[in-house]
Amino acid sequence: MHGHYRHGHRAVADLSPAIDSATPDRSEQAGRKLFVGNLPFGGTTESDLRSHFEQCGAVIEVSIRRDKNGLPSFGFVTFEKEGDARAALEQLNHSDLNGRFLTLAFAHRQA
């Protein structure tokens, strides 16, 4: 796993503010939509994400946000059922997609 070490301990960044500010969530999708961070830079597509997450259940929407250079930055995966989203979070958090370990969290509406 990747991470920064400080005083012998691995520091883990809290992505919650970034996730909240970047999430165009609708309340009807709450609990079914996952934030997907640390996407592979080279050629990751919505189809790649869909294929990776469909092992946990029916995916109804996938979107990838790209940086100013057009490289994948982060994405969102919305499941048909809340239980499938929970399963994906448990099973696929830190899973490998094309050489990168994905960081998953439930997407939240910004208050």
Q: pLDDT value at position 15?
A: 54
Q: pLDDT value at position 56?
A: 98
**Boundaries of every domain in the chain:** 30-106
- In three-state secondary structure terms, 10 is strand
Q: pLDDT value at position 96?
A: 96
Topology given in CATH for the domain delimited by 30-106: Alpha-Beta Plaits (3.30.70)
What does the CA dihedral 68, 74, 79, 84 come to, rounded to 10 degrees? 170
Q: pLDDT value at position 30?
A: 75
Q: pLDDT value at position 27?
A: 53
DSSP string, 24-80: ---GGGTTTEEEEES--SSS--HHHHHHHHGGGS-EEEEEEEE-TTS-EEEEEEEES
Q: Digits of tens for pLDDT over the chain (111 positions)? A: 445 444 554 444 455 555 554 544 445 577 999 999 999 988 789 999 999 999 999 999 999 999 999 889 999 999 999 999 999 999 999 999 999 999 999 998 755
